[in-house]
Amino acid sequence: MNLTELNRIATAMVAPGKGILAADESSGTIKKRFDAIGVESTEENRRDYREMLFRSKDAMSQYISGVILYDETIWQNAKDGTPLIKLIEQSGAIPGIKVDEGTQGLPMCPGELVTVGLDKLAERLKKYYERGARFAKWRAVIDIGSDIPSMTAISVNAHALARYAALCQAAQIVPIVEPEVLMDGDHDIDRCYEVTQRVLNTTFQELRVQRVALEGMVLKPNMAISGKKCPKQASVEEVAEKTIRLLKACVPAAVPGIAFLSGGQSDEQATAHLNAMHKLGSLPWGLTFSYGRALQAAPQKAWSGRPENVAAGQRAFSHRARMNGLASKGEWQSSLEQKAA
């Protein structure tokens, strides 16, 4: 393992003013996205859509540090025969790959899930590295309910995240460690804080047990935020303050950076929260975005599967990428959104 090179890549992934595009939707997830805009989810349409994003030169070169790909996409070529992964590299961004294989029910824990995909992961990582991937992603899903999460679910998922991270580093690939506490419930921000604290502490304990080099990884957590169904939604300032307090309590300074998931927040909400965090002063690690839907909802709608809309889709993507790039330096203002509307 070359830790110096892993650290260089991890640091580049969270460079100031740039963030990670999560373009790793599974076939089922992107079908839902395409259904919403009236586009059939064929392999060709999925390729055309992602090619549109990766050829958005302004966005990719100025605001995107890396792209998380789905297995289908990493092997695809653009219409002109250029591998899609090469388009990413040519823009200056780093190609990455989602390597988990989804979730399944956790035995003895009703309503809870465990992420699978560790079997033969070492062999898959070798092929992905040869293809050009330099980082990977594994998502653990923790739900909040009246009796959950259980310590079992937290422990099992943290253990799997750490095993995945160790296998990545052994393959000279930077692991994105993503323990996501879902915001789907009716819990308040303090309940989210408490659960996320347990999840992060357990995850870092497992990472240490499995000898993962913290200097060669990136953390992709949720923010401390109210559940979507909670009658009292926390303000932008409260989300920012509590999230930073939580991360400072749980995330060692050795970690080069943190790239938030958007987790179902609206485009502007995700941007505003990240911006507010950077207003709170200096931080021990890089802090940026790794958004999927919050970067892609607008370009998907603008594109709507029509070749004549490619330029409009790219403009929408560039706008969202720029807004989040500014937020990752604490320089975003809501008036910038209104000017673009």
Residues annotated as catalytic (active site), given as ranges: 178, 220
Structure tokens belonging to residue 79: 């219409």
Closest CA to 316 of 294, 333, 287, 290: 294
CA angle 282/286/290 to nearest 5° reads 130
CB of 268 closer than 8 Å to CB of 294: no
Within the chain, strands assigned E span: 19-23, 64-69, 94-98, 103-105, 113-115, 135-142, 174-181, 218-219, 257-260, 286-291
Centroid of chain to Cα 122: 22
Spatial neighbors of 1 by CB under 8 A, at least 6 apart, are 169, 170, 172, 213, 216
Residue 290's beta-bridge partner residues? Answer: 20
Question: Which ranges of 171-227 would DSSP assign to H, the alpha helix?
Answer: 189-209
Report helix, strand or coil for 116: coil
Write the DSSP assignment of 102-126 as a string of letters. -EEEPTT-TT-EEE---TTHHHHHH
User: Beta strand 94-98 with 64-69: parallel, antiparallel or unpaired?
Assistant: parallel
